[in-house]
Amino acid sequence: MAVRVVIGTQWGDEGKGKYIDMLANDSDLVVRFSGGNNAGHTIVVDGVKYALHLMPSGILHKGKTCIIGNGVVIDPAVLIKEINGLNEKGVSTEHLLISDRAHVIMPYHRELDELQEKFRGSGSIGTTKRGIGPCYADKIDRCGIRMCDFIDEDLFKQKVKANLDIKNLMIENVYGGKGFNADEVIAEYLEYAKFLKKYVKDTNSILFDAIHEGKNILFEGAQATFLDLDFGTYPYVTSSNPTAGGVCTGSGIGPKLIDEVYGVLKAYTSRVGAGPFPTEQDNEVGNTIRELGWEYGTTTGRPRRCGWLDTVMIRYAARVNGLTGLAINHVDTIGKLDKIKLCVAYKKDGEQVTHFPASLQELEKCEPVYEEFDSWKEDISGVRSFEELPENAKKYLKRIEELVGVKVKLIGVGKEREQTIVV
Ligand code: GDP
Ligand code: IMO
Ligand code: MG
């Protein structure tokens, strides 16, 4: 039995989906534990591209049980669209299970996300406007609607009415927006509930039984360490805990059951939305990386901000998540540049800093310290062993391993799941 976790170590979009899809092959259950349809995971199988938002990426493997855990927030219409879209492509979703404790994203959550961003003005977070933050806020505020409430018609009606009594006041009187008609919302959402009801289960006990039967479990991270509500660049973060601790609270397993935690990173860094980014290259270098790596958001289509790899961040991610291995993507992409820079530390007020600060004001004062590497300028997309890689690529990867203190176990040399070197 193995319980493995895949986590993003940067600001998301590291290519987690590709590895989850790959590791799902020898897993029995694949479990999403946090976030919602703010995630966008691109997986390319035999030239066919799949963009998944809520559905665990393991769904592309026949017969694997896929769980959407209690830590996830679910927009029912989005999930139904994803189920139908996969079915149309011949992908079965009959092994999908949804936790009865997962929370439902309601239309007033999306509206509030939109309005709050507008009101933040120049301080806006750049959210995906999918209602993620307001839905988690209701969960914490104890007025959220869980899947078990959603499929109970009478309870659902009561909860929607009680929520809208307050939300409409806020939407209309505070933000000047347009409120919702409770009956219309209820009528629309009861249809979604009917559709999804058969998937809603006590996934916590199913997971518990599977672990005790010795099954292989894969936990699928969405978002990433620096978008984590506690450990990320607050307030420029998402509203959940996508770090390894979130596995336990977002699915209901004990921490001692986890065997492996893979941290996924790119050979450079990208970020969508606002917030600090010490190694950002808002210049020709960043533009080149964006075009070479095709760095445009899977969820919102926004161009991603690009810059050099920052090992201060990855070292911090290794500690926060207890990483047991690194999975580095886009090694093919970075090798197309003439020279490569790697951030090895920060300099602040003349002193070397090797720990990522909590205060954004402190972070602002940090200047990256770079080491420069010669590139390899070779097509490595067909390479399948570490030994076959160009010497300069090996040097770059070895230095990352040394600075982070965690072994590189997987190397991505292209989009396809087969374009992976297992070290
Ligand atoms: P996720 O959210 O972490 O699953 O990542 P995304 O799917 O949002 O973004 C990763 C992007 O990089 C996708 O377009 C992938 O197809 C692509 N990708 C992943 N790994 C590699 C790699 O090793 N090389 C190249 N060239 N592209 C990759
Ligand atoms: P995957 O799983 C990249 C970012 C948004 C915004 C911030 C808050 O594909 O790696 P939210 O809508 O969550 O309240 O927005 O978080 N963000 C992501 N950026 N990849 C993601 O997911 C993201 N999920 C949220 O851009 O800056
Ligand atoms: Mg993504």
Domains of the chain, residue spans: 3-99+199-260, 103-196, 265-422
User: Which pLDDT score, from 0 to 100, does residue 105 have?
Assistant: 98
User: Which pLDDT score, from 0 to 100, does residue 208 have?
Assistant: 94
| C-alpha span between 275 and 297 (Å, rounded) | 16
* Residue 13 annotated as catalytic: yes
Whether pLDDT at 298 is above 90: no
Task: Name the CATH topology of 265-422.
Answer: Adenylosuccinate Synthetase; Chain A, domain 3 (3.90.170)
Helix, strand or coil, per DSSP, at residue 218: strand
User: Which pLDDT score, from 0 to 100, does residue 26 have?
Assistant: 93
CA-nearest residue, atom 11 of ligand 1: 15
Strand partners, 271: 305
Whether pLDDT at 392 is above 90: yes
Task: Count CA atoms closer than 13 A to 293's CA, side-chain side.
Answer: 33
CA distances for 272 relative to 11, 38, 257, 304, angstroms: 8, 11, 33, 5
Judge whether 71 and 39 are in contact, CB under 8 Å.
no
Judge whether 26 and 12 are in contact, CB under 8 Å.
no
CA-nearest residue, atom 12 of ligand 1: 15
Judge whether 59 and 27 are in contact, CB under 8 Å.
no
C-alpha 284 to ligand 3 mean position (Å): 24
C-alpha 215 to ligand 1 mean position (Å): 28
Query: Among residues 21, 26, 28, 41, which one is catalytic?
Result: 41
CATH among 1.10.10.10, 3.20.20.70, 2.60.120.10, 3.40.440.10 for 3-99+199-260: 3.40.440.10
125 lines ligand 2 (CB under 6 A): yes
pLDDT digits (tens, 9 = 90+) for 67-92: 999 999 999 999 999 999 999 999 99
| Mean pLDDT over the full length of the chain | 96
| C-alpha span between 333 and 270 (Å, rounded) | 13
pLDDT grade, residue 45 (50/70/90)? confident
39 lines ligand 2 (CB under 6 A): yes
Q: Which of 5, 9, 18 to mutate to test the pocket of ligand 1 (most atoms within 8 A of CB)?
A: 18
C-alpha 6 to ligand 3 mean position (Å): 13
Angle between helix 76-88 and 182-196 (nearest 10): 40
Task: Name the CATH topology of 103-196.
Answer: Adenylosuccinate Synthetase, subunit A; domain 2 (1.10.300)
Are the folds of 3-99+199-260 and 103-196 the same? Answer: no
Phi-psi region of 351 (alpha: psi -120 to 50; beta: other; left: phi over 0): beta
C-alpha 363 to ligand 1 mean position (Å): 28
Task: Please give the average per-residue pLDDT across 300-313, as a whole number.
Answer: 95
Whether pLDDT at 297 is above 90: no
Q: Which of 117, 127, 298 to mutate to test the pocket of ligand 2 (most atoms within 8 A of CB)?
A: 127
Query: Among residues 13, 138, 149, 310, which one is catalytic?
Result: 13
* Residue 109 annotated as catalytic: no
